[in-house]
Structure 1
């Protein structure tokens, strides 16, 4: 019975991820169209699609994290799914920067490196902070969660580039932030508000 449930869960996430890849391809084509024309009239449409896609990707993120926490399996199919999900996030990370430059959009990108409970005692607390601030800042705060233990060359490259050795670690745009023992609401809010203007930022 357990194996059947695991198989159904993976199949469901595979289907959602395939749908997400189609949405990303659509967003990329719309950006290319805007860039080729050199106008900004279509920017609200692209921004809306980007926001919807990121919202859907966050739903997949929660499913993947829940699966990692609850699953007793360590099969190659699930590892492949998690790797694809991580690469999908990074594609959005790059695309969001392109949209910001072309459409003059104001938002902050955050990469969240997490690990298992043994290597990251306060990752759950860090996730709570990120979820709380995401609820406050909405589409102005884009969070990309990456499992530092995943065997993915791009993740290793990012860790090396930003010298990430402790967990949890946040990359806020190009700034590396490591909390003691995690980044607090106040600390992260201050960092985000130094980048964007938002009604929740108090001068």
Structure 2
């Protein structure tokens, strides 16, 4: 098995790759690559992301990765992480940026002045551990308790046009989609590579997933 973590010059590539290596059989390989040929040859593809959406999309498109990643998203197990999830949508309010359009919907900014259930003001970005509540069964939730906590760092959230694309929600001033699932695509707003045992379990489930 060959797993490619797509390198487009943005994101915490090494920590994502290291976390996947921890849950991957010794016979498999985990490769960080920006080469379209390597993405085409991969059995599984991961697109992480960190930073501003417009910077990520500029680097991604500038390296000519769209066609290879689009084919991967249509034909093999595909995982998006954080901005790597947001990039799959049509458009982001961050920098008025066009996304890849693989999943119909928008990426919105958290409003300033939001309050939590205790009445205290919530900070933007949303940073730290929070509950993730699955909205439907999926193989990537295997062995993970409903309501398990994962680690988030983001100021923007995804809003799919079709609510059935949502695989989990999280509450932070509003209830937002924190994971999406569509055919062989599974994407998460949180960082599984920073989310201790639950994050490693999700990555292990991805490595073993047969959509």
> Please, what TM-score do these two structures have when normalized by structure 1?
0.28
Higher strand share: 2
- Structure of larger gyration radius: 1
State the TM-score, normalized to the length of structure 2.
0.27
Q: Which has the higher helix share?
A: 1
